[in-house]
A and B are shown apart, each in its own frame.
Chain A
Amino acid sequence: DIQMTQSPPSLSASLGDKVTITCQASQNINKYIAWYQQKPGKAPRLLIRYTSTLESGTPSRFSGSGSGRDYSFSISNVESEDIASYYCLQYVNLPRTFGGGTKLELK
């Protein structure tokens, strides 16, 4: 199984800050990583696929990068609506595996 190590587990930011979350895979995942946003009580929402491709409706302040085993996800100019938990997902192999999640809070 591919392990996805996501950090940090929690993040505190002020409005307008830039924040970055990382995911490291236990093996090369060939850029097949997606990023999800999840608000309390809701289903995850797909924001980015294939490392850096924004889904329709994803604001441009969200971005992703990386290759091989190492990937990052950033939010520039954090807005109040971005307060949520974020998860990475590798979808190159079965079982699909998620990172442990990052909870973004307001400072």
Chain B
Amino acid sequence: QVQLKETGPDLVQLTQTLSITCTVSGFSLTTYNVHWVRQPPGKGLEWMGAMWNGGGTDYNSAFKSRLSISRDTSKSQVFLKMNSLQTDDTAKYFCARHSAAISPFDYWGQGVMVTVSS
């Protein structure tokens, strides 16, 4: 069955770099796209960026050049890396799948809660 699972640190120091891995099963990264979405505590959802099935990426300009998304198809993993973390980057980070068609995110990981500490 389709599954996505995020793994990453609970705590990251101010100005440091966040690295999160999304490991998927039940589908291929060369067929489906994987996106990253985050949610600060008690707040709404924010799209961060996408890894397309062809290997390209797109990013929310709100993250400027801080954000990088990559993948290892042999391991069915998508990686998020974001540098220069600030306290307002404290959030739950989700990866989510979407098909190659114009479609919404249909499957989501459980998310990983990351706290940026000073």
- Are A49 and B109 neighbours in the complex by a CB distance under 8 Å? no
> Residues of A contacting B60 with CB < 8 Å?
95
Taken together as a complex, chains A and B put the C-alpha atoms of A94 and B36 apart, in Å, by 13
Chain B count of residues within 8 A CB distance of the other chain = 22
> Residues of B contacting A100 with CB < 8 Å?
44
- With contact pairs A43-B94, A43-B110, A43-B111 given, residues A98 and B46 touching in the complex (Cβ less than 8 Å): yes
> Residues of B contacting A42 with CB < 8 Å?
110
Q: Which of A46, A92, A94, A95 contacts B106 (CB 8 A)?
A: A46
Taken together as a complex, chains A and B put the C-alpha atoms of A32 and B102 apart, in Å, by 8
- Are A96 and B47 neighbours in the complex by a CB distance under 8 Å? yes
**B105 contacts partner chain A, Cβ-Cβ < 8 Å:** yes
**A71 contacts partner chain B, Cβ-Cβ < 8 Å:** no
Taken together as a complex, chains A and B put the C-alpha atoms of A96 and B59 apart, in Å, by 10
Write the chain B residue with the least CB distance to A99: B44
> Residues of B contacting A8 with CB < 8 Å?
none
**Min distance, Cβ B78 to any Cβ of chain A, angstroms:** 16
Q: Give residues 62-107 of A contacting B (CB, 8 Å).
A: 87, 89, 91-92, 94-101
**What sequence of 0s and 1s flags, for each residue 43-77 of chain B, a beta carbon within 8 Å of any chain A beta carbon?**
01111001000000010111000000000000000
- Are B47 and A98 neighbours in the complex by a CB distance under 8 Å? yes
**Interface set of B (CB-CB < 8 Å, partner A):** 35, 44-47, 50, 58, 60-62, 94, 96, 98, 102-106, 108-111
CB-defined A-B contacts under 8 Å, sample of 16: A32-B102, A34-B105, A43-B96, A44-B108, A45-B108, A46-B104, A46-B105, A87-B44, A89-B45, A94-B58, A95-B60, A95-B62, A96-B47, A98-B47, A99-B44, A101-B45
7 closest cross-chain pairs (CB), A and B: A34-B104, A43-B108, A96-B47, A98-B45, A95-B60, A101-B44, A91-B104
